[in-house]
Amino acid sequence: MMSETYEFSPEQEKLARYAKALSHPVRIYIIELLSQFTCCFSGDLDKILPIARSTLSQHLKELKNAGLIQGTIEYPKIRYCLNTENWEEAKKMFLNLFDN
């Protein structure tokens, strides 16, 4: 059997990045929290989520690397908000995936 390589489209790559970022319940919860508020400080998230600060930091990093959230340093804290442009794009991409 011949093995073929398939080139994924930029849209498929981006949707996979969004899906990976949303693949943990804590990250879903973070997105839900940020959608309820304009922004949230990392220290506030520490109080809300019963996980280690380092674990929270890793989850925030995954969401930020995927472009679903953005963080602004306001020493000594970081203010996190949804990246509304990318979040809207992700929602449309997921809807399109399930409509096809």
Instruction: Specify the pLDDT at position 3.
Output: 59
Q: What is the mean pLDDT of residues 56-60?
A: 95
Domains of the chain and any CATH numbers: 11-95 (1.10.10.10)
Instruction: Specify the pLDDT at position 38.
Output: 84
99 — pLDDT class (breaks 50, 70, 90): confident
The backbone region for 3, taken as left when phi is positive above 0, alpha when psi lies in -120 to 50, beta otherwise, is: beta
> What pTM did the predictor assign?
0.86
More confident residue, 1 or 70: 70
Q: Which of 88, 68, 69 is CA-nearest to residue 96?
A: 88
HSE-CB for 67 with a 13 A CA cutoff = 13
Q: Provide the β-strand partners of residue 78.
A: 73
Q: What is the mean pLDDT of residues 24-34?
A: 95
Instruction: Pull the structure tokens for residue 71.
Output: 């963080």
